[in-house]
Amino acid sequence: MKINIALISPFQNAHSETFIQAHKQNLDANIFYYYNNISELENHGKLKLSEWTKLKRKIKIYLRLKQPSIWELSIIKSFLKHNIMKVYAEYGTTGVVILNICKKLHLPLIVHFHGFDASVHSILKDNETMYKQLFDYAEHIIVVSIIMKEKLISIGASPEKITYTPCAPNDKYFSYNPTFSENSFISVGRFVNKKAPYYTIFAFMNVLNKYPDAKLYFCGDGDLYESCINIAKYFKLTDNIYFLGSVSALNLKELYEKSIAFVQHSVTALDGDMEGTPVAILEASAAGLPVIATKHAGITDVILHEKTGLLIDEHDVNNMTKYMILLLDNKEYARELGKAGNNFILNNFSMNHHISIINNIIKKRKIVID
């Protein structure tokens, strides 16, 4: 029998959060989805007087609060209505917001950390006390990289509660058929500090000295989008670099299948922000493309240097250029890396594998006592 789970995330259907959509669709539970920082929950409206009368006794028993806030009442109303049995919080910060409600309702809480929530200095500082309470109460903690697991343990999380599983690529990527027919590279992701797209531009600019016909396709947008376009204009690279914004699945497939490699130069931002394990890198490797990326966060967990891709140190533009040229010089090597990557992701990080791990966590029964 499936249990009723409240799946909570900060935003509704964020384009870059395909992993949350995968959880909504694939977890073996009756999913009730909540979003928008908890304060604006799906299908909730204001409490009517008649509804309040019906719920008053239950809320008083469960909450034991004299004056609960409106958003607390809204959440409790929905949780009681749908007989929620567990709460699954996407991001540690979401776990903090919903923690006290879970305590008052004696609801088991699973918290899934993804990246910034376990790395940004200000978030770790501001939530120092609450994270400790979260670690203590949570039934289970899910992390997407080995380095993230080590970080959470260092700030108080129990190793016994933590499970490592990167968010997985959609199965469709395994069916892609790379032809390596064009001297081009593809990068998919947000234009934000931790992905440092300008470093990819600088590395590619050097590639053009040997391969003036080479192309670089950027898919995505973000705060650094316009700045990167201006860099390309300044260095007269607009005939070689294409900023495509949000790309349809069909067009993305075409780009993957004709490119030489997937490129991404992730770095640790000044505020501490780090990747978890970028889903786009898993997708590219599943699609049979070699990945050129940095030794950053969970990337080293899923890309094997000189076996499924080529890894460089953060800020090392010269070696990124070197590896891009290497694959252009030797497309057969690119094909070998890509094929090995496809097999490695299929055998170790498929969606079925990822969802099975989470479903096993969900099925564990535990009585939570406040």
Q: Token digits for 32?
A: 């009730």
d(CA 92, CA 75): 18
Contact in structure between 293 and 309 (CB atoms under 8 Å): yes
Nearest CA to 364 out of 112, 73, 114, 86 is that of 86
Q: Token digits for 189?
A: 């992701």
Q: For residue 330, give the 3-state DSSP assignment.
A: coil
CB proximity list for 343: less than 8 A, separation 6 or greater: none
| Burial per residue of 232-259, b for 16 or more beta-carbon CB atoms within 10 angstroms, e otherwise | beeeebeebbebbeebeeeebbebbbbb
Question: What is the Cα 30 distance to its own chain's centre?
Answer: 22
Residue range 161-170, pLDDT digits in tens: 999 999 999 9
Contact in structure between 267 and 199 (CB atoms under 8 Å): yes
Q: Token digits for 326?
A: 């290497």
Q: Token digits for 283?
A: 């997708």
pLDDT string in tens for the chain (370-residue length) = 899 999 998 877 665 578 888 999 999 999 999 886 544 444 443 334 344 445 555 555 555 554 567 777 788 888 999 999 999 999 999 999 999 999 989 999 999 999 999 999 999 999 999 999 999 999 999 999 999 999 999 999 999 999 999 999 999 999 999 999 999 999 999 999 999 999 999 999 999 999 999 999 999 999 999 999 999 999 999 999 999 999 998 999 999 999 999 999 999 999 999 999 999 999 999 999 999 999 999 999 999 999 999 999 999 999 999 999 999 999 999 999 999 999 999 999 999 999 999 999 999 854 443 4
End-to-end CA distance of the chain: 26
CB-based burial of residue 128 (10 Å sphere; 0-12 exposed, 13-18 middle, 19+ buried)? exposed
Write out the residue limits of the CATH 3.40.50.2000 domain(s) in the chain.
Answer: 4-167+351-363, 171-348
CB proximity list for 44: less than 8 A, separation 6 or greater: 74, 77, 78
Q: Token digits for 76?
A: 């409790």
Q: For residue 264, give the 3-state DSSP assignment.
A: strand
Tell me, yes or no, if the pTM score tops 0.85. Answer: yes
Vertex 154: Cα angle to 150 and 156 (nearest 5): 120
The CATH number fitting domain 171-348, selected from 3.40.50.2000, 3.30.56.10, 1.10.3720.10, 3.30.930.10: 3.40.50.2000
The size of the chain, in residues, is 370
Torsion of CA 39, 119, 144, 8, to 10 degrees: 0
Q: What is the pLDDT of residue 55?
A: 53
Q: What is the pLDDT of residue 13?
A: 64
Contact in structure between 74 and 41 (CB atoms under 8 Å): yes
- Its CATH class, for the domain covering 4-167+351-363, is alpha beta
Residue with tokens 């609960």: 68
Q: What is the pLDDT of residue 36?
A: 66
